[in-house]
Amino acid sequence: MLIDAHCHLDLLEKEKDLDKVLENSKKVKIIISNGTSPESNRRVLEISDKYEKVKPSLGIYPLEALKMSDEEIDAEIEFIKKSKPIAIGEVGIDYHYGDQKEQQEKNFKKFIKLAKELDIPIIVHSRKAESEVLDILEQSDIEKVVLHCFSGNKELTEKATSHKSWMFTIPTAVVRNKTFRKLAKRVPINNILIETDAPYLSPIEGEPNEPAFIELSITKIAELKKITKEELEKSIEENFQKMFLK
């Protein structure tokens, strides 16, 4: 079973026709589309209502959260509670484009609390904040963690993989990106999920990413792990079920 564990269909539809995108992705049985703002969350829900295999993950992107008041974030959290998403995300911390360290950490902790309350996975963004993010997750004692496009070093990757229930979503950019190829080699097969992050991180230069491109990363990761594509797909399906369906 092919699964796209993280994408943004509400952003992809600005680049490509979604009916065509879903037609292209016949082999992809589950697509998790992540919200990034209140407006995005509502569109993600509309898309998931239209397409059965699209599952909504709702959250506020860390840079978007910095534009909101505490009261606005709390109101959106109440909306998310009522919407029954498959996961909380995309949330986290970004020190590459954002500052306000204390506020980012405060916002992130709110979403960790929400994920624990709902007993669903949290899909985590950690750009240039990998160490801080791992520390906060560990302190929260949360089990259902999906690390999206993790770019931490070997030591931090090993720290994260010591938590057997945590998963890494390796993007389709692994086809042409050394950082993600290193990640694919380092992470045990039992901790791997695959994502597109569509429309971003495309394996094809100049082409907006889409769920159908998952097949390209399956081929590359299987090659890196020295296993068959069938073995990798089976493991990813099992990992998905452990994370999202139990």
pLDDT in tens, 31-79: 999 999 999 999 999 999 999 999 999 999 999 999 999 999 999 999 9
Q: Determine the pLDDT at residue 53.
A: 97
Q: What is the CATH number of the domain that holds 106?
A: 3.20.20.140
β-pairing verdict for 28-34 and 54-58: parallel
What backbone torsions phi and psi does residue 113 show, to the nearest 5 degrees?
Answer: -60, -40
Give CA separation, 207 vs 9, 12, 89, 200, 230, in Å: 15, 11, 25, 9, 27
What mean pLDDT comes out for the span 113-129?
Answer: 97
Contact criterion met (CB below 8 Å) for 208 and 202: yes
pLDDT per residue as tens digits for the range 95-110: 998 889 999 999 999 9
Given pLDDT bands bounded at 50, 70 and 90, which one contains residue 1?
confident
Percentage of the chain with pLDDT > 90?
98
pLDDT at 246 exceeding the cut of 80:
no
The tally of domains found in the chain comes to 1
pLDDT at residue 99 in the model: 87
Domain span including residue 130: 2-244
Mean pLDDT of the region 84-90: 97
Is the pTM of the predicted complex or chain greater than 0.95? yes
CA distance 56 to 63: 20
